[in-house]
Amino acid sequence: MNSEFTIAVHSLVFLANLPDHRASSESIAYNICTNPARVRKIMSTLRKNNLVRTKEGLGGGYTLGCSPAEISLGLIYRVISTGTLKPHWCSGDPDADCIVKSNIQTVMDDIFTESEQSVIRHLDQMTIEDVLKKVRTAH
Amino acid sequence: MNSEFTIAVHSLVFLANLPDHRASSESIAYNICTNPARVRKIMSTLRKNNLVRTKEGLGGGYTLGCSPAEISLGLIYRVISTGTLKPHWCSGDPDADCIVKSNIQTVMDDIFTESEQSVIRHLDQMTIEDVLKKVRTAH
DNA sequence: TCGAACTGTGTCACTTAACGTTACAGTAGA
DNA sequence: TCTACTGTAACGTTAAGTGACACAGTTCGA
């Protein structure tokens, strides 16, 4: 899976944990241990899906688009990571004569898509609020 | 996910499709479109888990360790790919003061482990025989 | 209206993981 | 003892992931 999913979840949990739910890309990046440009790129995608609100200019930054209890990890996955379960490398060759060699790609594609669906169904049961609770109670 | 999973499944389906269920690493690699050394490395792991039998020397090669109906994709995943769902990159820093920054790694680890379990449960419901059937009926 | 503090986005460089290639020791049958 | 295999390690190459930088656009306050 994509590490952008990690960054998206971490960013949202970080915002949820702040009293005013507001932060700049620089402070988020510092908390995540990455660079601001990468955070901005991912937050930009989240904004297009209404998971965060962004404000440019002086005093701008990022705020949560809705309550932490309303943001499921499944939604974040769908927005950020759809298709990343499947490995980049493919076996076989669609133009070959052997049915295994020629058809395996289609079949494996289905398997990866279905597997991804089962991950999403699992992630749908967890929200940013749940993750924040776990972070707060982690030993 | 690991592309070694693809190679393992493809190899087993390829063997299952052969009348005598026997092939060399070279012919398997040709069907998969990769190199024999890579196939041998993965088959070696499968052998240690009794999914295939191997025979060295003249006339040697690989045969199925049991019936295609007995080999679930979940088992293959467990043997070949456990831990590969989690991205290599980690956010946060266990030594930091902020609870989000310091605890997120543990929490995300759990999330990835649980997600992997849900994938395995899904893959457990499918066997090499099922995959072979799909390959044979794919349009 | 100017400057400071932001986001949005593209590009390029660097690092690391994935994959391929080669080599060679070990094994088994003809 | 020769040939055809597997087992495994080492090394080179390619592709993906990540970081760094640059700069245009936006917003607000002085």
Q: How far is A42 from chain B (nearest CA, A)?
A: 14
The whole-angstrom separation of Cα B8 and Cα A35 is: 38
A22 three-class SS: strand
- What's residue B138's pLDDT? 87
Q: What is the pLDDT of residues B62-107, one digit of tens each?
A: 999 999 999 999 999 999 999 999 999 999 999 999 999 999 999 9
Strand C contact with B94 (CB < 7 A): no
CA distance B43 to chain A (A): 15
pLDDT tens, residue order, chain A (139 aa): 999 999 999 999 999 999 999 999 999 999 999 999 999 999 999 999 999 999 999 999 999 999 999 999 999 999 999 999 999 999 999 999 999 999 999 999 999 999 999 999 999 999 999 999 999 998 7
> Residue B9: its pLDDT value, please?
98
Of residues 39 to 58 in chain A, which lie within 7 A of strand D by their beta carbon? 55-58
Identify whether the C-beta of residue A11 lies closer than 8 Å to the C-beta of residue A5: no
Residue B117 has pLDDT above 90, yes or no: yes
Specify the amino acid at residue A80: I
Q: How far is the CA of A89 from the C1' of C28 (A)?
A: 35
Residue-wise DSSP of A23-55: E-HHHHHHHHTS-HHHHHHHHHHHHHTTSEEEE
Are B65 and B21 in contact by the 8 Å Cβ rule? The answer is no
Q: CA nearest A14: which of A6, A5, A23?
A: A23
What pLDDT does residue A64 have?
98
Please name the residue whose C-alpha is nearest to the C1' of nucleotide C21.
Answer: B35
State residue A78's pLDDT score.
Answer: 98
